[in-house]
Amino acid sequence: MAFARWAPLLASLVSLGTVVTAADNVTDLGKPLNIPASQFWEGFDGPWSTFRIEIGSPSQQIRVLPGHNQASTLVFISEVCSASDQDCPNNHGGLFLRDNSSTWDETGQYELNTRLEDELGLFGRGLYGWDTMTLGWTGDGMPTIANQSIAGTNSHDYGVGALALNPRPINFTDYNNPIPSLMQNLRNMSTPIPSSSWSYTAGGHNLSPKILGSLVLGGYDAARFVPNDVEFPFSSDISKDFQVAIQEITANITDEPLLSTGIVSYISTLIPDIWLPLSVCERFEEAFGLEWDEDVELYWLNDTVHDSLLERNPQVTMKVGPQVTGDSVSIIMPYWNFYLTATSDLTGNSTGLYFPLKRAANDSQYAIGRAFLQSAYLSADYERSIFNLSQARYPSLPTEQDIVAILPPLAQTTSDSGGGDGGGDTGTSDSQSESGLSTGAIAGIAVGGGIALLVLGAILFILHRRKKAAKKAKPHELDDTDFANNMRHEIADGELKHEVGDGLRHEVPGDTDPKVELYAGEGTQKPVEVGVSREIYEMPAEEIKYAEMDGEGLYDKSQIKPDAAPYHMGADIQEAPTPTPEIQIQNHSPAQTPWTPHQNSPQHWHQNR
């Protein structure tokens, strides 16, 4: 059969996609971005290691913390400061002076996307718009992206801004006009981050020497954690992705567990504290000698208690897992995790050391903040909807880094570097990138597969044409249309021999090497030779449909209505705009345009303390 002759070639074409993986240097998959720490420790509830970015044209240097649930980068604007407070701008990581940026494009005022934090009584509203953003500062070699969603706020519930880490798009009108998030834009660059993922640990101000925080986009730093293989699935509520079951809490200074019955909690990078049930807080009070200040809702640490705890150096172990029973990871938190500094910006009148534990009124307030993330390493993989928690490490030198890419599911390879906590076997380190499946390999597979399909299609087309040509060349039996000799057929001797009219010559199929029979006219006609039927069946070809991939198109910001509410795509939560009374924001910088509420801005504007 003719098709059999093509079988070896077709087999070669099918394997072409595998062969071309050797050409994985065609292009680069991209690499993780290790966001530089600012070298500053700041915040009215820490201090905390911040990270540097630039916003605007000309660029303005801002210092921020990670915003785990933010699709818009949160920064502070001049209205947060009074004219007499000279330290205010620096205390907030720097201010974004929007009137000084030629690329600022204002959209409107909306509630901040802080659903979990709202449960804790932390509110805020933002003046949203678009501007150019650079990760890191000039000279850091980090990318610059235009038209990034920025939310300027004057909320006093947060001390430092937050870098948008939520890759889900945001929409200011409805679900039909999604606007790419920062993480999406980083994935769409010519040299992208390998996946929609990030990893963070808060560092330690109370260590000697101090250990800066670590934030990696598209990967993780394998030098900053102890690997394990426990995976946590994302919560079904996308406003609370990082759901964690606290199975048990113990301390080495008491025989009784501080928490013995598991509870479900949520991780937030925007808060400093750990929120636990009242009964658990009371056990902490007894074990650590804490006293609750009802006025400021803090556990203050006086000198006597603090010195005693420094000498005893207690350790708290939190056993956490995906469920209240089953697989778990134990995070050990020495006492240095638990003495933070509260300034008057937080308390309103006093400054001192406090213990970052909060009394939760109900289970909706169970939350885990940055105090926990000083000793824990969090790695989030949005393309697999999982995250990992592991014990943080504290390298003695800041240069001790092992940045590993978290590959997307289609490019996942087995990697010995990293382990479960940084994304399990989904990672490939820079030093081992040759052994992984790079974008070049993926591109090679795609190109090779496309060529294979084209050649296969050409072969099938040629075979089809040959089949049609063979059918046209084959003689066909036609009905007798010899009307001039409309004669009856005679049946002689019962042999059913049919006599056909002599006006039209008839042929019947012969054998595979058909012999042409010529009619002899008036002479004796040679009997017709009948061959065996040899039908050839042509197999139907499967229709190949190419999926059109989303491009890197531009959105039309003119479609955005200033009185519309932002959506996070996929959420069932809408921040609906409603009228609000005018807010008098005094003592703004003369160089700034005063921020007054839009006529149709949201109703729930929470007054600053």
Helix axis angle, 439-473 relative to 2-14, nearest 10°?
170
Assess if residue 401 is contained within a domain. yes
12 vs 110, residue with greater confidence: 110
Residues with Cβ within 8 Å of 557's Cβ and at least 6 positions away in sequence, in order, are: 105, 107, 130, 147
Q: Do 208 and 148 share a structural domain? A: no
Question: How much is the pLDDT for 429?
Answer: 57
Pick the closest to residue 267 from 340, 195, 318 (CA basis): 318
Per-residue pLDDT band at 360 (split at 50, 70, 90) = very high
Which of the 8 DSSP states describes residue 401? Answer: -
71 vs 15, residue with greater confidence: 71
Give me the percent of the chain exceeding a pLDDT of 70. 63
**At residue 500, what are phi and psi to the nearest 5 degrees?**
-105, 160
pLDDT digits (tens, 9 = 90+) for 262-302: 999 999 999 999 999 999 999 999 999 999 999 999 999 99
Question: How much is the pLDDT for 424?
Answer: 47
Q: How far apart are alpha carbons 384 and 517 in whole angstroms?
A: 72
Q: How far apart are alpha carbons 96 and 57 in whole angstroms?
A: 11
Assess if residue 476 is contained within a domain. no
Domain that holds residue 156: 33-193+561-568
Residues with Cβ within 8 Å of 69's Cβ and at least 6 positions away in sequence, in order, are: 113, 114, 115, 116, 166, 239, 240, 241, 268, 270
Dihedral (CA of 341, 380, 392, 193) sign:
negative
Q: Do 244 and 169 share a structural domain? A: no
Question: How much is the pLDDT for 13?
Answer: 45
Question: How much is the pLDDT for 5?
Answer: 53
527 vs 237, residue with greater confidence: 237
Q: Is 221 exposed, middle or buried (0-12, 13-18, 19+ CB in 10 A)?
A: buried
Q: Do 167 and 212 share a structural domain? A: no
Q: Do 224 and 119 share a structural domain? A: no
Q: Do 156 and 271 share a structural domain? A: no
Arithmetic mean of pLDDT, 398-416: 78
Assess if residue 493 is contained within a domain. no
Question: How much is the pLDDT for 492?
Answer: 46
Q: Which residue has the tokens 């006492």?
A: 335
Q: Which two tokens stand for residue 16?
A: 């072409």
Per-residue pLDDT band at 328 (split at 50, 70, 90) = very high
Per-residue pLDDT band at 47 (split at 50, 70, 90) = very high
Residue 129 pLDDT > 50? yes
- The last residue of one of the domains, among 390, 417, 437, is 437
pLDDT digits (tens, 9 = 90+) for 539-582: 333 332 333 333 333 344 444 444 444 545 444 333 434 334 33
Residue 538 pLDDT > 80? no
219-221 β-sheet, strand order? 219-221, 403-406, 427-429
Residues with Cβ within 8 Å of 436's Cβ and at least 6 positions away in sequence, in order, are: 29, 405, 407, 411, 413, 415, 428
pLDDT digits (tens, 9 = 90+) for 380-402: 999 999 999 999 999 888 778 99
Residue 326 pLDDT > 70? yes
Paired with 173 in beta bridges are none
Q: Do 261 and 376 share a structural domain? A: yes
- The last residue of one of the domains, among 409, 437, 465, is 437
Q: Do 188 and 209 share a structural domain? A: no
Q: Do 322 and 400 share a structural domain? A: yes
Arithmetic mean of pLDDT, 183-200: 96
Residues with Cβ within 8 Å of 344's Cβ and at least 6 positions away in sequence, in order, are: 44, 350, 351
Assess if residue 538 is contained within a domain. no
Q: Do 326 and 244 share a structural domain? A: yes
Q: How far is CA 287 from CA 258, 282, 337, 340, 361, in A?
A: 9, 9, 16, 18, 21
Q: Do 222 and 179 share a structural domain? A: no
CATH number (domain holding residue 102): 2.40.70.10
Q: Do 280 and 421 share a structural domain? A: yes
Assess if residue 164 is contained within a domain. yes
Give me the percent of the chain exceeding a pLDDT of 90. 57
Pick the closest to residue 441 from 96, 23, 138 (CA basis): 23
Q: Do 186 and 205 share a structural domain? A: no
- The last residue of one of the domains, among 381, 410, 437, is 437
Biggest CA–CA distance in the chain, Å, is 134
Assess if residue 182 is contained within a domain. yes
Per-residue pLDDT band at 247 (split at 50, 70, 90) = very high
Tally the domains of the chain: 2
Assess if residue 423 is contained within a domain. yes
Other Cβ atoms closer than 10 A to 450: 13
Assess if residue 457 is contained within a domain. no
The answer to whether 577 touches 600, Cβ cutoff 8 Å, is yes
Q: Under the phi-then-psi rule, with left for phi > 0, alpha for psi from -120 to 50, and beta for the rest, what region is 467?
A: alpha
Question: How much is the pLDDT for 601?
Answer: 35
Residue 237 pLDDT > 50? yes
Mean pLDDT for the chain? 77
